Amino acid sequence: MSDIRILGRGQRELHPKHQFLVRIDNGWSAAFQKCSELSTEIAKIEYYEGGSAIPWKTPGRASFSDITLERGASSSKKFYEWCLEVMNASVGSYPTRGQGLITPYFMKDLKIIQLDRDGIEANSPRTWRVRNAWPTKFVAGDWDNTADEVVIEQLTLVIDFFELV
């Protein structure tokens, strides 16, 4: 399937970069100003057999980069509370504070949904499913009394993998 939809002679619709939505664990969602690129890298293993001058090359382990999301600070505490869950390693209502345990309870699946030009997800051309994400960094933003800007929060997520659905 092509990334470009053919509309007519000389016309094509490219996917807009500026409109997307992040839905976490099918429970809550948020619009973000920015999302870092989704990237994966597969290690290259080279070995030389029997004194050969040219190596054999095979694929090795895959690694996935962290995702950083940015948005204007709001009254929602969901992302901060998610970070606290990981930091405190709490399970249900019985916190095991400070033990640094990462359990599957903190890992959430999320979707990054590209919206169409009208901001509607129903006919979304692309949706990325991200598996087993958990926050590794939360930045509440900086404040400047002389600026006319919005405070920007950042959330960095560690992920196991992603796929285009």
pLDDT tens track, the chain, 165 positions: 444 454 555 555 565 566 788 888 867 788 788 889 999 999 999 999 888 999 999 999 999 999 999 988 888 888 888 888 887 755 454 455 555 555 567 889 999 988 777 777 766 568 899 999 999 998 988 888 888 888 888 999 999 999 998
Task: Say which residues have a Cβ less than 8 Å from residue 163's Cβ, sequence separation at least 6.
Answer: 128, 129, 131
pTM recorded for the entire structure: 0.75
Torsion sign across C-alpha atoms 73, 74, 79, 84: positive
Domains delineated in the chain: 5-39+66-164 (2.30.110)
